[in-house]
Amino acid sequence: MIVLLAAATLLITPWSTPNADAHGSVGTPLSRNYGCWQRWGSDFQNPAMEQQDPMCWQAWQYDTNAMWNWNGLYREGTGGDFQAFIPDNQLCSAGHTQDGRYNSLDNPGPWKTSPLSSTFTLDLYDQALHGADYLQIYVTKQGYDAQTDALDWGDLELVKTTDRYAPAEHYTTQVSAPGRSGHHVVYTIWKASHADQIYFLCSDVTF
């Protein structure tokens, strides 16, 4: 009976399942938060993560809720003036949004990367069918060191702005980012259509 009660308690802990008020993230190339949840969500207490995936390890240790709520990395009230609300070194956490829940995503280091060619398809997964007023896709400039340098606005080049998308599960767009090699960050800004809700998503890639 004691074992059964303990198991029931674990099932109802606030972080045991993703937020029911689901939103979304970049699925291709995988965002930092979505990738950590995909790789370790069913095995997040495995000590092997510290060696195999150290950046996800530090993110899980910092705030487990950030990983379970991989789909909620947004900020409200920016009025489109992103840089006024999101300072340098805080781009991957959307300016320490949600009371700093996602701050660990700002840390530079050996994040797992998705392999890309210079022309690639970005796929944003909208779990809640919010729609998109637009996507803005930035890519870090050649010479940026993702292993040691937290992301600044000056590190980025805007390479694509899309039109509006009707509500769907996936919004895809072709992106071109020539002249790059090595570890870079693709930074996606998703303006959801249903509210003043803008998502700021870092994806680590290797060109």
**What CATH number should be reported for the domain holding residue 134?**
2.70.50.50
Report pTM: 0.89
Could you give the CA distance from residue 106 to residue 146 in angstroms, rounded to a whole number?
10
Q: Which residues contact 89 (CB under 8 A, 6 or more apart)?
A: 106, 150, 151, 152
Residue 74 in any domain: the answer is yes
Which of 85, 92, 95 has its CA nearest to residue 35?
92
Q: Is residue 58 part of a domain?
A: yes
Q: Within a domain: residue 145?
A: yes
Domain assignment of residue 3, yes or no = no
Please report whether residue 181 resides in a domain. yes
pLDDT of amino acid 77: 85
Q: So what's the pLDDT on residue 20?
A: 39
Query: Which domain does 166 fall in, by range?
Result: 22-206
Q: What is the structure's pLDDT at 198?
A: 93
**Which residue has tokens 């930035």?**
138
Number of domains comprising the chain: 1
Q: Decide: 138 and 205 in contact? Cβ < 8 Å.
A: no
pLDDT of residue 22: 63
Alpha helices in the chain (DSSP H): 2-11, 32-40, 49-52, 54-62, 64-68, 82-85, 97-100
Nearest-angstrom CA–CA distance, 37 and 18 = 10
pLDDT confidence of residue 194: 82
Q: What is the pLDDT of residue 110?
A: 98
Tens place of pLDDT per residue across the chain (207 aa) = 444 433 333 333 333 334 435 699 999 999 999 999 999 999 999 999 999 999 999 999 999 999 999 999 999 988 888 899 999 999 999 999 999 999 999 999 999 999 999 999 999 999 889 999 999 999 999 999 999 999 999 999 999 999 999 999 999 999 999 999 999 999 999 999 887 789 999 999 999
